[in-house]
Amino acid sequence: MTKRVLVTAAYLAPGDGVDRLLGDAGYEAVFATPARREASGLRLRDVVADVDGIVAGTDAFTAEVLGAAPKLKVIGRCGAGYDNIDVDAATRNGVAVTFTPGANRRSVAEHVLALMLNCARGIPQNIASIHAGGWEQRSGRELEGATLGVIGLGSIGKTVARLGLALGMRVIAFDREPVHENGVAVLSFDEVLRQSDFLSLHIFLSPATRHLIDATALRMMKPASYLINTARGEVVDEDALADALAKGELAGAALDVLREEPLPATSKLRELDNVIVTAHIAAATVEARSRSSLMATQQVIDVLDGRTPKNLVNHEVI
């Protein structure tokens, strides 16, 4: 009997590269993206019962969902993070979890650059003013000569650092592990906060990093500095950030990830004109999505074919 692989990433569809890769490997692709499930009135747990593998997007694979999938052997997460998957529950159920680090690094890094430029020049505010009938010409600032602080010098953080260096920025960084990158000064966490004109976050969400940027951390930053988050929403205390921005303790912030997505109508951030919010699109390029989804799919195939995949999270199951 042909093994079935469920595809839940929202941007994948029948006939695409993932579908062809699975078919060429002898597997049947079953598409159950969020839009398809909503249209049919199905929950995620309703579509996992009879599948052997999953190519996953950002859906929450909780212990309850995993418990409804007795045949499941592997989840291949399309993305650099996997905090939407209960890895402990997956491990208990003998389900391998993989992810795709590095596949989206260029796309995320370019989005960081775009957010920095928008902050530095107040581009969204200027566009909004023109749409409202105004014609303001406020002074912005150049990136050349400014200090870019990078928290987390992994593959994405290093790519951001290189883009900053190419623009003539001074680049400093903090990482919990010993790291080296040409042209980048590795400093303590506190010093990176104190010295940065633009602070960009590139860390996984974990108990140790949840609210890493809290009220205390924000008070260490320069009043004229900007916070940029394309990592995970919960690494920033959003309430503390909103308060700091409202009080003028920071010049602004640019957020691609949030505590709750979509941004709630009642969020304090909506009241502030010095915040740029994008809809978790840093990795949403054709190129990054293709690399990430094909990598995740190949890892699913590897597990189902009895091979050890490249980016395995829970080695205990293999």
Residue 36 phi, psi dihedral angles, 5° rounding: -65, -40
**Per-residue CA distances from 63 to 55, 90, 231 (Å):** 17, 7, 24
Residue 243 phi, psi dihedral angles, 5° rounding: -65, -45
Pairwise CA distance, residues 219 & 32, whole Å: 45
Q: Which of 145, 150, 221, 154 is nearest to 185 (CA)?
A: 150
Q: In what order do the strands lie in the sheet with 96-98?
A: 28-31, 4-7, 53-56, 74-77, 96-98
Pairwise CA distance, residues 14 & 135, whole Å: 47
Task: List active site positions.
Answer: 232, 261, 280
Instruction: Strands of 261-314 (E only): list them.
Output: 275-277
Q: Is the dihedral of CA 51, 52, 55, 56 positive or negative?
A: positive
